[in-house]
Structures are given as structure tokens and as C-alpha cells.
Amino acid sequence: MPDDLRRIVEQAAAESEALREARRNFEICNACRYCEGYCAVFPAMGLRREFDKGDLTHLANLCHGCKGCYYACQYAPPHPFAVNLPKVLAEVRAESYAEHAWPQPLARLFERNGTVVALVTALVTAALMLGVKLFSSPEVLYGVHTGEGAFYRVISHGMMVLLGGATFGFGILAMVVGGLRYWRATGAARAGRITPLPVAKAAHDAFTLKNLDGGGHGCNDRDGDFTQVKRRLHHALFYGFLLCFAATSTGTLYHYGFGWQAPYGYLSLPSLLGTSGGVLMCIGAGGLMWLKIVQDPEPVARRLMGGEYALLILLFLVASSGLVLTAFRGTSAMGMLLAFHIGLVLALFVLLPYSKFVHGLYRSLALLRNAMETRRARG
């Protein structure tokens, strides 16, 4: 058997059922082209006549799961062709998260993601709360602490920096390495050099969630009706998270730049940013959980729902516990509330590279590649 043919046969044998099903779906879609205007996936599909594993992975991560194509498709179930792109592309995305995770042995965490998220959250939070209880006197733990440095009387600033820096640093490193592995493995370098204009276009599409507008009329959040609800809830969660990150960054500047110690006044910039971000995160995470409960189950990869619910619950708990801590920081409950909140934050940091949180990075890279390919196709 010739080497080229042998390599093709070996690659086909190594492919997952999801990849084979995605290729079959795209071959049908490429002949139809009815959904051309719904999102970036279909114009990107039209640039190809054949779909290797890298192309399928790229297209899967370019998909934002708006489900418009499913309800518009004349070949969707119960048609014998059974085209169901939202479901199969979700499965291919999940496989890509596990395949490119770093370190690779931890990729197995994606297999039972809901269980892993719940278990890690419980263990990290319980460990921190137990540690605080064991190493703090009752007078400190249950005392009323006010003014600058009140939090650090329960958990020292050095310990917070050590735990937060180590977990967040590892999470970011693992995501960056995973993103680089994804970029190389999908053959993104074939799209050409990375230049400022495609970067700007990808950033615009990512920050506006353009692919969730369904060509201007929204997504099919629950059924065949178009709405902008999913897009707005994603915006609330995304920008709420960024506001909370900005609050932490501002607090860091206050601490090291001006010598001001947390907790800060309710009307201070870190508190305003953190409170508004926490509220938006609660709205976004809670709303997206509600959408998952009421959505049509047919265009959904049900085996992935456990992990998605678990991550949304964790994000909701992180945000809501921060709001409760802010509200009751001047009471005797502050010590345990602080330990609970910090434990949840550390669990989130640990899970960043091994949960659906990575979809933000992979979709951004897919948007960048798409902007590069589109620009090159237009000459």
C-alpha cells in the first residue's frame, strides 16, 4: 500500500465517531448552503472542499452553538440524513479541549467534567475552610474586624497571594500551552501571518459575540423562535467576569502602589467594580442555567451537560459568595465567608484549563484564523 494511502487510512481509523459524523454533516451542508448567513461557520466551510481533522476542529470551535442552522435545516431529524450540526460540533469541541489540554495526563478530567468540577470545588473549599478553622483562634475567626486589613487578620495577605498566584498562574500557563497546541494541531499556520487587521476583526467578533446574533435576528435559545437572550446573558457573564478581574487588579494597585489595604469602602473603585461584576455574573450564570433547562434537547450533546451546569454553578457561587461577603464583612460571619469565597475562587483557578472555560480561548483563536482566511480569500 502506498505511504500516502496508508497514512490516510490510519488517520481515518484513528478518528472519533464525532469527527466522522461532523465530516458527513459538512459534506451535506457544503452542497446545500442554505445557512450561509447565520454565522461564520458556513462561509468558512465554503472555503473548503475536503475536511481533515484540523479543519473540523477549527469549524467546531468557530461554532457558537446558536442552533439557528438546526431549525432551518431541511435535512435535520427526522429526515434520513439526520443533519444536526450543533450537537456534533459540541462533541468535537469537547474532544478538542481534552486533546490539547496540558499537562496531557490531566486531559482525563474532561471525561467526567461535571463530577470533577463538583469534587475539586468541594475539596478545595473544604480544605481552605478547615485550614482557617484549625489555624485561627475563635477570637480571630469569629471576631468582628473592620477597617483596613480586616481580611488579613483572618487569612494573611501573604497566604492569599501565594495560593491565588500559584493556582491562577498555573491555570493561565496551562491554557496558553493548550491554545498553542490547538493552533499548531489544527493547521492554523496555513492561514498565513498574524497581522493587526485580522486580530482587530477577531477581537471585535469575540467581544461583541457577533456569531450569536444569527445574522442579526438572534439565536434559537429554546426553540425555532429567534431571540437575543442567550447573547445578552453571555455578555453579562463575560463582562461581569472582566469587571471582577478589574476589581482585583485595581485592589492590587491600591495595595502595592498606595499602601491601602482591603477591604475598601463600598464606594471605592475596587468595590464598585467587584459588586457590579458580581451582579452581572450572577445574572449571566443563572440565566444560562435556566436556558439549558428549558431548551430543546434535540440539538444538544446531552453527555456534556453535566460539566456545563457544574461550571455555571461554580461561577454563580464565586460571584454570589463575593457579594454576600461584601454585605456581611463587618459582622462575625466575615471569617468563614471569606474562607468560603477564597476557596471557591481557588477551585475556579484550578479548573480553568480543564473545564468548558477554555472555550473562550479556543473560539477566539478560531475567530482569528477565520479573519485571516477571509482576508486572504478576498485578496
**Whose CA is closest to 124, among 307, 363, 314?**
314
Q: With bands split at pLDDT 50, 70 and 90, how would you rate the model's confidence at 224?
A: confident
Mean pLDDT in residue range 165-183? 96
Residue located via cell numbers 491554557: 175
Q: With bands split at pLDDT 50, 70 and 90, how would you rate the model's confidence at 12?
A: low
Total residue length of the chain? 379
Taking the C-alpha atoms of residue 367 and residue 62, their distance in angstroms, rounded to an integer, is 6
Is residue 5 scored above 50 in pLDDT? no
Is the whole model's pTM more than 0.75, yes or no? yes
Domain borders along the chain are: 3-99, 104-377
The 10s digit of each residue's pLDDT in 92-126 is 999 999 999 999 887 777 777 788 888 888 899 99
- Cβ distance 344 to 121 under 8 Å? yes
The 10s digit of each residue's pLDDT in 241-291 is 999 999 999 999 999 999 999 999 999 999 999 999 999 999 999 999 999
Is residue 4 scored above 90 in pLDDT? no
The 10s digit of each residue's pLDDT in 318-375 is 999 999 999 999 999 999 999 999 999 999 999 999 999 999 999 999 999 999 999 9
Q: With bands split at pLDDT 50, 70 and 90, how would you rate the model's confidence at 313?
A: very high
The 10s digit of each residue's pLDDT in 176-203 is 999 999 999 999 888 889 999 999 999 9
Give the pLDDT of residue 13. Answer: 53
- Cβ distance 286 to 309 under 8 Å? no
Mean pLDDT in residue range 282-306? 94
Is residue 46 scored above 70 in pLDDT? yes
Cβ atoms < 10 Å from Cβ of 59: 25
**Whose CA is closest to 114, among 360, 322, 302?**
302
The 10s digit of each residue's pLDDT in 50-94 is 999 999 999 999 999 989 899 999 999 999 999 999 999 999 999
**Stronger pLDDT, 299 or 105, i.e. the higher one:** 299
Q: With bands split at pLDDT 50, 70 and 90, how would you rate the model's confidence at 212?
A: confident
Q: Which runs of consecutive H residues, i.e. helices, occur in the chain?
A: 3-14, 17-32, 41-46, 53-62, 68-72, 85-99, 113-135, 138-141, 157-185, 196-208, 229-253, 269-294, 305-327, 334-351, 359-377
Give the pLDDT of residue 189. Answer: 85
Four-CA torsion 164, 288, 119, 134, nearest 10 degrees: 50
Taking the C-alpha atoms of residue 91 and residue 55, their distance in angstroms, rounded to an integer, is 15
Is residue 236 scored above 90 in pLDDT? yes
